[in-house]
A and B are shown apart, each in its own frame.
Chain A
Amino acid sequence: MAAVFQAFGTAAVLLPANDSRVRLLGSFPGRKANVFEVRSEKKIVSDATRVSGRGQHLITNAVATKADAAAASTGSKSGHELLLFEALREGLEEEMERDPCVCVMGEDVGHYGGSYKVTKDLAKKFGDLRVLDTPIAENSFTGMGIGAAMTGLRPIVEGMNMGFLLLAFNQISNNCGMLHYTSGGQFKIPIVIRGPGGVGRQLGAEHSQRLESYFQSIPGIQMVACSTPYNAKGLMKAAIRSENPVILFEHVLLYNLKERIPDEEYICSLEEAEMVRPGEHVTILTYSRMRYHVMQAAKTLVNKGYDPEVIDIRSLKPFDLHTIGNSVKKTHRVLIVEECMRTGGIGASLTAAITENFHDYLDAPIVCLSSQDVPTPYAGTLEEWTVVQPAQIVTAVEQLCQ
């Protein structure tokens, strides 16, 4: 697998430009006092955060197709167990009950119940005007969602696969992201665009797209990626309540993850990263499905004596440089593991951001493991080699920590 390690030696090439933006950032006032209790270190937390350095309750199911009971449910016995797509549905249903302006539009979301069952039975409950089956016309129904959002409705546009949203790219980039700005603040676009992406099980090149990097330069939108049932529900609710357009990236292989989530209502912050496993030796930044590959690698690493700190960045735009920065200051080594393409991916952008802001704290160049810059092949063995595997993560950490 030597071909995978292109990351070494090239990561440090991304040097910061002389950027006046940094000066403006420097004039940040102190943190506001009115921060609510959904920050991840408070009582409502994800399972893995309860993990301390001592009681190594790592997530055992690294590959999401096994629907095992989640490990590390050391918290409350209350709560209920469900699968990730059910968590998304629960979040969606709660928000639709709470606010009559929330509606869903997409292909097969209504009578069919959603191609991944995220909107199952919602059409029966809320009616055809709130859960809308659209024809196969992404450009126009995304545009319609944006137009409806301009008047104050809160539509959720589901792309059956993130790749199909490329057809709506003009609407998302020019109208969704920019209307708040070009209208001088007159219009808000509280839309949520969501759908599954990522490499699945031999779905072929056009259905295995990772589009996070395509959208990340659009000013005016926020991007989040969910990875567990807990944060899926929390991020879905937060995205719906946000006044900004939010793109919620889900992953095809994660829909059947099972976890116990709290009964009481909760929201996850849209701009925060999640501390999956605190550690001392190296910071591993990841999101979506790669979180599980990283955790599987972490098991091996711990057995070998390393103590990796794993952070699920969750917020792809804007990056939570606060959490990431604190981690970098502690460990001084960064490994980014992502499923995005190598060229111009989220990892590349994150590398640049970390180097610009925390260069002095780094003991080694940032290593970024991403998918190969190839169309995803159909053959299973080849497909496996396009994405980062746990063994590669282990080797990367070993090399980084030398």
Chain B
Amino acid sequence: MALISRSTSTCAPLFRPLTLFSLRHVSTDTSPITVDTSVPFTSHNCDPPSRSVTTSTSELLSFFRDMSLMRRMEIAADSLYKSKLIRGFCHLYDGQEAVSVGMEAALTKSDCIITAYRDHCIFLGRGGSLLEVFSELMGRQAGCSKGKGGSMHFYRKQAGFYGGHGIVGAQVPLGCGLAFAQKYSKDEAVTFALYGDGAANQGQLFEALNIAALWDLPAILVCENNHYGMGTAEWRAAKSPAYYKRGDYVPGLKVDGMDALAVKQACKFAKEHALKNGPLILEMDTYRYHGHSMSDPGSTYRTRDEISGIRQERDPIERVRKLLLSLDVANEKELKDIEKEVRKEVDEAIAQAKGSPAPEPSELFTNIYVKSFGAEAYGADRKEVRVTLPGY
């Protein structure tokens, strides 16, 4: 149970920040309250931030709502996959929602996030809509990548979400490139490059980290350590599973990734650090309830007791629920109402997405090249030269 103090409270312990009788699905109370994280931060080569996180009741309610939405979305994707409406690979994020939600609370849309293939919830956190998610998963026109990308290729340029990448580890050099561009254009923004414990053993990560540290880039490498690289436990894949220490000369921080407030605090700290001192590694200690993907039952390399144990003790949504109840921001029924509302939203989005048509055949050949300078080509053969040059 988190320790709580209220900076504005001078009254009796029955002080309630909000009235009980109105529907308080979204609290608008932004007065700061302080909550302690579940565990203190462990740091490498730097001073860890404080355990006490400044938040507000409205923020906590939004955490609850957003995480419930993400959870529901992933469960719905699970059943869509089983009914063969989603094909191919589908990597679900349930259990790890706190990382996305906490990160969003600490960042702005001018900061960039790039991640690997477990990207549905991060896309949602960056402002994507449920319709775009489900349409893309089902390969329809209304999808965020027009149905041409699929589960592993969600992008949202206007919100600084750079995907969505299928090859393990390849997104980390891309993320350092984004940070480079931010430094080049003097944006005063940072890039969070997310990867998993499996990708942490990739060479290109260290190459990119070296360059980022050398050139002082505002890049933050976030290892979402769910302790399993597909079917291989971390102790079988890494000689040293202390991923936050792997940066050696680059400072690192180990965070309880199931605690949204801890994630928020760490990301805020990381952003400030990166803008002044260059890269940082964050290790989010998190867990995924599903297997690696929908083709993996997730139970051959770990016990059901382990999964249900984590669900009982560390589930991110339950933690926020207990916090909200203890702070008396909402009661059981109201939180259940939020969950029902969220469920309805997801069902409606799915219905709408099912109605979206498949892409037109001509879409096969669009977006291969950019239609400005030079080629409008369909492969290596063209019968005619068509050239338009920029005015010079």
Contact = CB atoms under 8 A, between A and B. Distances in A.
A349 interface: yes
B385 A271 contact: yes
Interface string B159-202: 00011111100101111111011111100000000000000000
A318 B204 contact: no
Nearest to B147: A184
Interface in A348-374: 349, 353, 356-357
B279 interface: no
Interface in A34-55: 34-36, 38-39
Interface stretch (A175-183, A225-233, A250-258, A384-392): A175-183
B373 to A, nearest CB: 5
Contacts of B156: 186
Interface string A131-172: 010110101111111111111110000000000000000110
A318 B377 contact: yes
Contacts of B310: none
B392 interface: yes
B239 interface: no
A188 B382 contact: no
B381 A188 contact: no
Contacts of A148: 177-178, 180-181, 184
A174 interface: yes
Interface string A314-354: 00011111110100000000000000000000000100010
A313 to B, nearest CB: 12
A211 to B, nearest CB: 16
B370 A147 contact: no
Contacts of B384: 28, 31, 322
Contact of A353 (B147, B170, B366, B381): B381
Contacts of A219: 368, 379
Contacts of B167: 170, 174
B262 to A, nearest CB: 28
B223 to A, nearest CB: 17
A179 B162 CA distance: 10
B381 A151 contact: no
Contact of B155 (A28, A146, A183, A357): A183
A201 to B, nearest CB: 31
Interface string A240-272: 011110000000000000000000010101111
B84 interface: no
Contact of A142 (B173, B181, B210, B365): B173
Contacts of B215: 132
B146 A184 contact: yes
A267 to B, nearest CB: 6
B203 A185 contact: no
B144 to A, nearest CB: 7
Interface string B111-131: 010100000000000000000
Interface of A: 21, 24-25, 28, 31-32, 34-36, 38-39, 103, 129, 132, 134-135, 137, 139-153, 170-171, 174-175, 179-188, 216, 219-220, 222, 238, 241-244, 265, 267, 269-272, 317-323, 325, 349, 353, 356-357
19 contacts: A135-B210, A135-B214, A137-B210, A140-B176, A143-B176, A143-B177, A144-B180, A147-B173, A148-B180, A151-B112, A174-B167, A182-B148, A182-B150, A183-B163, A184-B145, A184-B147, A272-B387, A318-B379, A321-B381
Interface of B: 112, 114, 143-150, 153, 155-157, 162-167, 170, 172-178, 180-185, 203-204, 207-208, 210-211, 214-215, 365-370, 372-375, 377-390, 392
Which 9 residue pairs spanning A and B have beta carbons closest together?
A: A147-B177, A143-B173, A140-B207, A137-B207, A144-B177, A147-B174, A184-B145, A184-B146, A243-B370
